[in-house]
């Protein structure tokens, strides 16, 4: 199955735009005051999703006066899917380029899941444009890159993703997207799984499934290589920008132990929130609580 790219252009109280940055084109859903002087909030989605996962947060953030940009990361949905350059630091520079292309001097970067890894990397690789960072359902990358500390529920899929071809087929022609959305959600919460067909359709876009798998392959295979060691060495410098972390109390993928060292990598203000009844897909499983946490954080860090 090859998806129709219109699945990415879901209508709503936002506009769709292609933005040039870091040598590629990125699809962005924009909302809020068009004035580039307004505070910019960039939303980065998780795997196996795309910008649509933030649909509950975009309107209230925009109504609160923020300029909101929910982007598709490199390799996902409506953004470019190059055959190479899947390193996390490259994705951080993609986000920095989008911020500049939108005419903003800086932004608060909010990342969920895989997008959270990119958000954690922003203060290191794009400090000039990173005003603050909010990370949902994703621990700091340094301990997470050590296989012996990866949660068991995350290690299995991560290792299976290293196999060529088969994961891509399961994402586009099988039910892997639906199974992951169900397995990583809190019991009985279908906030994300209810939209499995749309997320599967986006994975069916040409080269999307392969690109997303290449991101995860880099995360594992780079760890012993010079590029991976340089990336982790850079991230060992603690973040001085304000940080908000939000995790689900019933996250089957990332349990509480996975987050126990986050504070070791933050020297600036740190807020930590636990949503007791949510799983991994926080923006959809607990939309009101996530919006409330983000609005409170933004009120503190954006003056």
Residue 239 pLDDT > 60, yes or no?
A: yes
> Which is more confidently placed, 156 or 115?
115
Taking each helix axis as running N to C, give the angle between helix 226-235 and helix 114-125, from 0 to 180 degrees, rounded to the nearest 10: 70
In 3D, which of 49, 60, 47, 40 has the Cα closest to residue 110? 40
**Is it true that domain 5-301 has CATH number 3.40.50.1820?**
yes
Q: List the chain domain ranges.
A: 5-301
Beta strand pairing call for 40-44 and 107-112: parallel
Predicted local confidence at residue 1, as pLDDT = 47
Predicted local confidence at residue 68, as pLDDT = 98
64-68, 83-87, 215-219: range with highest mean pLDDT: 64-68
Predicted local confidence at residue 149, as pLDDT = 66
Q: CB–CB of 107/40 below 8 Å? A: yes
* Burial group, residue 257, by CB count within 10 angstroms (0-12, 13-18, 19+): exposed
**Rounded-to-integer distance, Cα 34 and Cα 210, Å:** 35
Average pLDDT over residues 40-48: 98
- Residues sharing a CB contact under 8 Å with residue 51, sequence separation 6 or more, in sequence order: 8, 27, 28, 29, 43, 45, 70, 71, 72, 77, 78
Residue 2 pLDDT > 60, yes or no?
A: no
Average pLDDT over residues 275-285: 98
Q: What are the tokens at 150?
A: 């990866």
pTM of the model: 0.97
- The model's pLDDT over 188-203, given as tens digits with 9 standing for 90+, comes to 999 999 999 999 999 9
Mean confidence (pLDDT) of the chain: 94
Residue 179 pLDDT > 80, yes or no?
A: yes
Task: Give residue 152's pLDDT band: very low, low, confident or very high (50, 70, 90).
Answer: confident
Taking each helix axis as running N to C, give the angle between helix 226-235 and helix 88-101, from 0 to 180 degrees, rounded to the nearest 10: 60
Predicted local confidence at residue 256, as pLDDT = 93
Predicted local confidence at residue 165, as pLDDT = 92
Average pLDDT over residues 204-233: 93
Fill in the DSSP letter of residue 73: P
Average pLDDT over residues 105-112: 98
- The model's pLDDT over 159-175, given as tens digits with 9 standing for 90+, comes to 899 999 999 999 999 99
Residue % of the chain over a pLDDT of 90: 87
Q: What are the tokens at 101?
A: 């292309």
List the single range of 116-130, 135-149, 269-283 with lowest mean pLDDT.
135-149
Residue % of the chain over a pLDDT of 70: 98
Task: Give residue 211's pLDDT band: very low, low, confident or very high (50, 70, 90).
Answer: very high
Average pLDDT over residues 121-145: 96
Say which residue the tokens 């997207």 belong to. Answer: 177
- Residues sharing a CB contact under 8 Å with residue 295, sequence separation 6 or more, in sequence order: 60, 61, 64
């Amino acid at each position: 199955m090859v998806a129709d790219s219109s699945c990415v252009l879901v209508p709503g109280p936002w506009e769709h735009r292609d933005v040039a940055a870091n040598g590629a084109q990125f699809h962005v859903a924009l909302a809020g005051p068009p004035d580039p002087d307004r505070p910019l909030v960039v939303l980065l989605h998780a795997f196996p999703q795309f910008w649509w996962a933030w649909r509950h947060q975009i309107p209230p953030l925009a109504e609160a006066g923020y300029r909101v940009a929910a982007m598709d990361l490199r390799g996902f949905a409506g953004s470019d899917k190059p055959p190479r350059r899947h390193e996390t630091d490259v994705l951080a520079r993609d986000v920095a380029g989008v911020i500049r292309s939108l005419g903003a001097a800086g932004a608060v970067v909010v990342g969920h899941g895989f997008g959270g890894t990119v958000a954690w990397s922003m203060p290191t690789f794009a400090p000039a444009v990173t005003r603050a960072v909010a990370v949902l359902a994703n621990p700091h990358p340094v301990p997470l890159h050590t296989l012996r500390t990866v949660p068991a529920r995350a290690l299995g899929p991560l290792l299976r993703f290293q196999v060529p071809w088969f994961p891509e087929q399961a994402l586009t022609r099988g039910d892997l997207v639906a199974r992951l959305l169900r397995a990583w959600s809190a019991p009985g919460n279908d906030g994300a799984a209810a939209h499995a067909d749309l997320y599967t359709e986006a994975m069916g876009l040409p080269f999307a499934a392969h690109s997303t798998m290449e991101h995860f392959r880099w995360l594992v295979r780079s760890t012993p290589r010079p590029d991976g060691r340089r990336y982790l060495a850079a991230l060992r410098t603690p973040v001085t920008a304000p940080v908000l972390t939000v995790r689900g109390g019933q996250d089957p993928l990332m349990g509480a132990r996975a987050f126990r060292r986050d504070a070791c990598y933050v020297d600036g203000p740190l807020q930590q929130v636990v949503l007791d009844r949510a799983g991994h897909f926080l923006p959809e499983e607990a939309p009101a609580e996530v919006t409330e946490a983000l609005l409170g954080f933004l009120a503190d860090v954006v003056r």
